């Protein structure tokens, strides 16, 4: 119980730090519902791209709870009908590609980063241009916590 | 590492490097050895010998304005060259982010060239649209599938379509290294995906210091003379992890070393020493017109001193459904592993050649011989407990319907994919499965696609747990039956793909990185589809 309290405290401190970061930071999502401690979502951003193009969203997920949590789905209805979880990986020859993943597991007390070159949320066939500075809404579905909506900043890179 | 005789000089691009690096999981070792060698060279060798500087391969494509582009037009500027595609959501933008930082920090002078390896979707218009978001130092190149293949091959760049579950929704897997070319058009560095801007910026600044660049419009004239003799690359502060093998110098616009008067493009990704191995090529006239398959072609393997390694063999011509040009498949004998030249000849005396590297087959199931009489487990065998037979996160059930024995009994050809998504003994693991899914969509009705996990594992509380050490993983009996896990190709050398025909004969096999194009052609040969 004490460990969990510490984890929550750490999340809170990080959240405050992030909130103080200015332009680079983004709001920390609050849980909508669900049992246990819902994951904390930080530093969500989406790469600028043209209408009809492809973009990706990145964020970090911290599971302050005592049980494993999984990110199992994502929606970005304003942007695309096809938002999906992907993982980029490289081989020894430098050949790099990505594969869809069903879920991303966040271990109890752990943090998983969706970052360039690794896990990401792929946004295909964009309905509109994403300009740096815009804000967009992403709805993340977790196995335990259910759906959590967050606001993400559009950045050039 | 494998000692291989070299009957013919090394061939295009850095392709051999990936094969050697993956062998025995020796990546880290190779990097360490390379770094050590570089440090030694820095300490003891004369400047000229510190770094093997070779001319960069040529780039002959179309720019974003629809005009012909040659890399030579950027002489006088350091150039950062990378390959990608405009629908790329993650890797290419990340690389561009890095290069933008490099360009911002290095000042005026450097240029960047982005080549699309997605010719089906990217043309000059798409490149122009994409470049609107990028600094003016960028040029965006596109071309026909043949042109892209030829240019990518010269740079040792590989790419393949990856199924994303919808007809147009494919992604591309591709070599994502950044190449650094100096103002004299020489290849001076190669940086793997994920390299931070710092080392690249430092290298670019080093090049700028050795060759002052005139700021302003992109030079389009003849090569700028720097007055300074070539002195190796003493000022490059960071050692690229991989220094490419010298690509043979090529006549601009040709797709392969100019041997004879036919242009040859190699399609095969694994070629094997032994009594028989299929080698797939495409052929075109010097002006780029593809040979349509009407002309009969014979093939000959040539070693050192122009000695033929065996008799001339006729090549089969095939035009797979949906393919834009004919491929030629020659089944040849290659006596020992190493570099050879494959010559292709027409009855009217025209000839073309391409360097090929034959791999040591070790004890892996031989091409031309009956496939091992081993079964593979199916979904029915494990009562639907998928985790018992696959560690894929989102298993494609089409891989688990039929066993190798079922396919053999039914006289159906099959593609056996030995790969693990979970136990990644090599960074290529999981990739063969992803690639093959694309082929199931094309061939699934006529050909069985079978996935086999290579290792012994247990399922403990819904998680697969390897029954042993990942550094020396235990092969299961089905995988061992295919002759893998020997001294040449240890258990850590994954993935593998075997292609077996309806008579149960092994017709092709691939290790590590696999392109979809050559398997596609082999299935066409086996199925008799598109054979001329």
- A101/B394 Cβ within 8 A: yes
- B176/A90 Cβ within 8 A: yes
- B175/A93 Cβ within 8 A: yes
Mean pLDDT (whole number) for B36-63: 57
* pTM (whole model) above 0.90: no
- Given a contact cutoff of 8 angstroms between Cβ atoms, the answer to whether A96 and A90 are in contact is yes
Whether residue B214 is predicted with pLDDT greater than 50 in this model: the reply is: no
- Per the model's pLDDT, the better-predicted residue between B117 and B435 turns out to be B117
- Given a contact cutoff of 8 angstroms between Cβ atoms, the answer to whether B342 and B356 are in contact is yes
The minimum CA-CA distance between B103 and chain A, rounded to whole Å, is 14
A118 band by pLDDT with thresholds 50, 70 and 90: confident
Q: Cβ contacts of residue B495 below 8 Å, gap of 6+?
A: B417, B418, B419, B420, B426, B428, B429, B430, B431, B432, B433, B454, B511, B512, B514
Q: B397 is written with which tokens?
A: 């059930």
Q: What is the DSSP letter of B476?
A: P
Q: For residue B163, what pLDDT is reported?
A: 73
Output the CA torsion sign for B262, B263, B265, B271.
Answer: positive
Mean pLDDT (whole number) for B353-375: 91
Q: Which of B19, B21, B89 to mutate to test the interface with A (most CBs of A within 10 A)?
A: B89
Whether residue B499 is predicted with pLDDT greater than 80 in this model: the reply is: yes
- B87/A117 Cβ within 8 A: no
Q: What is the DSSP letter of A118?
A: S
- Given a contact cutoff of 8 angstroms between Cβ atoms, the answer to whether B510 and B367 are in contact is no
Closest chain B residue to A58, measured at CA: B90
- For chain A, list residues whose CB is within 8 angstroms of any CB belonging to chain B: 47-50, 53-56, 82, 86, 88-103, 116-117, 120, 122-124, 156-157
Q: For residue B194, what pLDDT is reported?
A: 81
Q: For residue B513, what pLDDT is reported?
A: 66
- A90/B427 Cβ within 8 A: yes
- A116/B513 Cβ within 8 A: no
B307 band by pLDDT with thresholds 50, 70 and 90: confident
Mean pLDDT (whole number) for B486-500: 93
- A47/B513 Cβ within 8 A: no
Give the separation between CA B188 and CA B153, rounded to whole angstroms. 18
Q: Nearest CA to B317 among B341, B282, B286?
A: B282
Whether residue B52 is predicted with pLDDT greater than 80 in this model: the reply is: no
A3 band by pLDDT with thresholds 50, 70 and 90: very low
Give the E-state strand segments of chain A in sequence order.
40-47, 55-62, 69-75, 82-90, 95-100, 104-106, 111-114, 119-124, 135-142, 146-155
Per-residue pLDDT tens for B255-273?
A: 334 456 888 888 888 899 9
On chain A, the residues whose CB falls within 8 A of the CB of B87 are 53-54, 124
Q: For residue B62, what pLDDT is reported?
A: 95
- pLDDT above 70 covers what percent of chain A? 75
Q: Which of B8-17, B133-142, B395-404 has the lowest mean pLDDT?
A: B8-17
Rg (CA), chain B: 24
* Residue in this structure with the two tokens 């060279």, named with its chain if needed: B41
Q: For residue B61, what pLDDT is reported?
A: 95
Whether residue B252 is predicted with pLDDT greater than 70 in this model: the reply is: no
Q: Which of B22, B91, B194 minimises the CB distance to A92? A: B22
Mean pLDDT (whole number) for B195-223: 64
A:B CB pairs within 8 Å: 132
Q: For residue B143, what pLDDT is reported?
A: 95
Give the separation between CA B355 and CA B341, rounded to whole angstroms. 4
Q: Which of B96, B160, B171 minimises the CB distance to A98? A: B171
Whether residue A109 is predicted with pLDDT greater than 50 in this model: the reply is: yes
Mean pLDDT (whole number) for B235-253: 30
Q: For residue B338, what pLDDT is reported?
A: 85
Whether residue B387 is predicted with pLDDT greater than 80 in this model: the reply is: yes
Q: What is the DSSP letter of B311?
A: -
- Per the model's pLDDT, the better-predicted residue between B406 and B212 turns out to be B406
The minimum CA-CA distance between A129 and chain B, rounded to whole Å, is 12
The minimum CA-CA distance between B329 and chain A, rounded to whole Å, is 26
Mean pLDDT (whole number) for B20-43: 40
Whether residue A78 is predicted with pLDDT greater than 60 in this model: the reply is: yes
B20 band by pLDDT with thresholds 50, 70 and 90: very low
On chain A, the residues whose CB falls within 8 A of the CB of B88 are 54
Whether residue A26 is predicted with pLDDT greater than 80 in this model: the reply is: no
Give the separation between CA B348 and CA B381, rounded to whole angstroms. 57
- pLDDT above 90 covers what percent of chain B? 40
Q: For residue B50, what pLDDT is reported?
A: 33
Give the separation between CA A111 and CA A70, rounded to whole angstroms. 12
Q: Nearest CA to B188 among B237, B128, B259?
A: B237
Mean pLDDT (whole number) for B187-201: 85
Closest chain A residue to B191, measured at CA: A94
The mean pLDDT value of chain B amounts to 79
Q: Which of B58-67, B119-128, B161-170, B235-244 has the lowest mean pLDDT?
A: B235-244
- pLDDT above 70 covers what percent of chain B? 78
Q: For residue A82, what pLDDT is reported?
A: 85
- A50/B130 Cβ within 8 A: yes
Q: B164 is written with which tokens?
A: 């994303």
Mean pLDDT (whole number) for B439-459: 92
Q: For residue B126, what pLDDT is reported?
A: 92
Mean pLDDT (whole number) for B73-87: 93
Per-residue pLDDT tens for A82-104?
A: 899 998 887 766 678 888 888 99
B38 band by pLDDT with thresholds 50, 70 and 90: very low
Give the separation between CA B349 and CA B343, rounded to whole angstroms. 12
Q: Cβ contacts of residue B480 below 8 Å, gap of 6+?
A: none
What is the SS3 assignment for B309?
A: coil
- A123/B175 Cβ within 8 A: no
Mean pLDDT (whole number) for B334-352: 89
Residue-by-residue DSSP string for B14-62: THHHHHHHHGGG-HHHHHHHHHHHHHHHHHHS-GGGSS--EEPPP-EEE
| Sheet with B274-284, side-by-side order of all strands | B263-266, B274-284, B327-334, B316-318
Q: For residue B437, what pLDDT is reported?
A: 81
Whether residue B53 is predicted with pLDDT greater than 80 in this model: the reply is: no
Q: For residue A33, what pLDDT is reported?
A: 43
- Per the model's pLDDT, the better-predicted residue between B34 and B500 turns out to be B500
Q: For residue A77, what pLDDT is reported?
A: 92
Mean pLDDT (whole number) for B161-167: 67
- Given a contact cutoff of 8 angstroms between Cβ atoms, the answer to whether B404 and A70 are in contact is no
Cis status of the peptide bond prior to B198, with omega within 30 of 0: no
Q: For residue A140, what pLDDT is reported?
A: 96
């Amino acid at each position: 119980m004490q460990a969990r309290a510490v984890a929550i405290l750490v999340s809170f401190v990080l959240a405050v730090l992030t909130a103080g970061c200015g332009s680079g930071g983004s709001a920390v999502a609050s849980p909508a519902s669900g049992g246990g401690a819902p994951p904390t979502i930080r530093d969500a951003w989406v790469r600028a791209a043209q209408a009809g193009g492809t973009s990706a969203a990145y964020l970090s997920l911290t599971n302050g709870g005592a049980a494993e949590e999984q990110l199992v789905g994502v929606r970005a209805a304003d942007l695309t009908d096809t938002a999906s979880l992907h993982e980029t990986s490289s081989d020894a020859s430098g050949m790099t590609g990505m594969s869809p993943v069903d879920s991303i597991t966040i271990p109890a007390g752990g943090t998983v980063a969706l970052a360039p070159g690794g896990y990401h949320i792929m946004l295909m066939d964009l309905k509109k241009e994403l300009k740096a500075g815009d804000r967009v809404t992403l709805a993340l579905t977790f196995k335990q916590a259910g759906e959590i909506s967050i606001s993400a900043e559009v950045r050039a890179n | 590492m494998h000692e291989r005789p070299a009957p013919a000089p090394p061939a295009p691009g850095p392709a051999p490097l990936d094969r050697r690096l993956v062998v025995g999981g020796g990546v880290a070792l190779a990097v360490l050895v390379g770094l050590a060698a570089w440090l030694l060279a820095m300490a003891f060798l004369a400047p000229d010998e510190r770094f093997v500087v070779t001319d960069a391969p040529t780039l002959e494509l179309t720019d974003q304005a629809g005009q012909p582009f040659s890399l030579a037009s950027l002489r006088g500027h350091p150039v950062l060259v990378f390959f990608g595609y405009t629908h790329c959501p993650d890797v290419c933008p990340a690389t561009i982010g890095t290069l933008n930082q490099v360009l911002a920090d290095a000042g005026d002078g450097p240029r960047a060239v982005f080549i699309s390896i997605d010719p089906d979707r990217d043309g000059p218009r798409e490149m122009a649209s994409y470049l609107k978001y990028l600094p003016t130092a960028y040029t965006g190149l596109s071309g026909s599938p043949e042109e892209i293949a030829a240019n990518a091959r010269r740079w040792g760049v590989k790419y393949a379509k990856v199924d994303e579950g919808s007809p147009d929704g494919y992604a591309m897997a591709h070599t994502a290294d950044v190449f650094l070319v100096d103002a004299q058009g020489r290849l001076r560095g190669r940086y793997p995906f994920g390299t931070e801007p710092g080392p690249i910026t430092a290298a670019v600044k080093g090049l700028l210091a050795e060759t002052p660049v005139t700021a302003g419009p992109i030079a389009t004239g003849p090569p700028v003379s720097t007055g300074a003799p070539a002195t190796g690359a003493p000022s490059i502060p960071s050692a690229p992890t991989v220094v490419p093998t010298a690509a043979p110098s090529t006549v601009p616009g040709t797709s392969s070393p100019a041997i004879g008067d036919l242009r040859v493009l190699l399609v095969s990704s694994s070629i094997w020493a032994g009594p028989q191995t299929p080698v797939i090529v495409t052929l075109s006239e010097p002006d780029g017109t593809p040979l349509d398959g009407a002309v009969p072609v014979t093939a000959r393997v040539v070693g050192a001193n122009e000695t033929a390694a065996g008799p001339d063999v006729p090549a089969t011509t095939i035009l797979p459904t949906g393919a834009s040009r004919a491929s030629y498949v020659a089944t040849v004998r290659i006596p020992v592993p190493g570099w050879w030249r494959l010559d292709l000849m027409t009855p009217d005396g025209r000839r073309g050649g391409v360097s090929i590297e034959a791999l040591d087959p070790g004890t892996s199931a031989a091409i031309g011989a009956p496939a091992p009489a081993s079964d593979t487990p199916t979904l029915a065998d494990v009562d639907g407990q998928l985790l018992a037979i696959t560690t894929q996160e989102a298993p494609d059930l089409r891989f688990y319907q039929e066993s190798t024995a079922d396919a053999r009994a039914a006289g159906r050809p099959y593609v056996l994919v030995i790969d693990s998504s979970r136990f990644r003994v090599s960074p290529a693991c999981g990739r063969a499965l992803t690639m093959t899914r694309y082929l199931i969509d094309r061939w699934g009705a006529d050909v069985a696609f079978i996935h086999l996990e290579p290792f012994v594992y247990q399922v403990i509380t819904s998680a697969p747990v390897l029954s042993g050490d990942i550094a020396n993983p235990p092969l299961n009996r089905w995988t061992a039956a295919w002759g893998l896990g020997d001294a040449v190709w240890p258990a850590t050398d994954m993935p593998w793909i075997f292609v077996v025909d309806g008579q149960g004969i092994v017709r092709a096999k691939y290790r590590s990185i696999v392109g979809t194009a050559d398997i596609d052609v082999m299935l066409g040969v086996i199925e008799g589809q598109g054979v001329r």
